[in-house]
């Protein structure tokens, strides 16, 4: 399945819906979307991952890049990730830097 990303900005919240597979090629698209919103006054990055089937280490790097690019005050919410993605976040310790939720707002 091809990767697809939709971005909506609403005040201090950036919502992105990620669909498909987030691999090394599609991570570039994800990073470009982050760069587009980086200069906005964003406090929350909400990533709907319900339909994301796979996330490689390149996708994890973009999550880390998001914090660095937007700033340390950024809170990242991951909404409805699949078990495989939760497992990846936990194995890398990145689950400590994000909030995993069933819905946003919490």
Q: For every one of its 106 residues, what pLDDT tens digit does the chain have, with 9 covering 90 and above?
A: 689 999 999 989 999 999 999 999 999 999 999 999 998 999 999 999 999 999 999 999 999 999 899 988 999 999 999 999 999 999 999 999 999 999 998 6
Placement of tokens 């700033």 in the chain: 71
Biggest CA–CA distance in the chain, Å, is 34
Predicted local distance difference test score (pLDDT) of residue 1: 62
Instruction: Tell which residue, 32, 75, 29, 35, has the closest CA to residue 52.
Output: 29
Q: Could you tell me the residue ranges of all domains in the chain?
A: 4-101
Predicted local distance difference test score (pLDDT) of residue 50: 97
- Which tokens in the block code for residue 100? 């995993």
Predicted local distance difference test score (pLDDT) of residue 15: 97
- pTM of the predicted structure, to 2 decimals: 0.94
* CATH T-level assignment (fold) for domain 4-101: Transcription Regulator spoIIAA (3.30.750)
């Amino acid at each position: 399945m091809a990767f697809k990303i939709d971005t909506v900005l609403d005040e201090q919240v950036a919502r992105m819906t990620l669909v498909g597979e987030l691999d090394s090629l599609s991570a570039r698209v994800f990073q470009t979307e982050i760069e587009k919103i980086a200069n906005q006054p964003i406090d929350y990055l909400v990533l709907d991952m319900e339909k994301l089937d796979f996330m490689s280490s390149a996708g994890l790097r973009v999550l880390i890049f998001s914090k660095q690019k937007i700033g340390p005050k950024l809170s990242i919410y991951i909404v409805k990730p699949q078990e495989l993605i939760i497992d990846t976040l936990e194995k890398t310790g990145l689950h400590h830097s994000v909030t995993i939720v069933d819905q946003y707002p919490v």
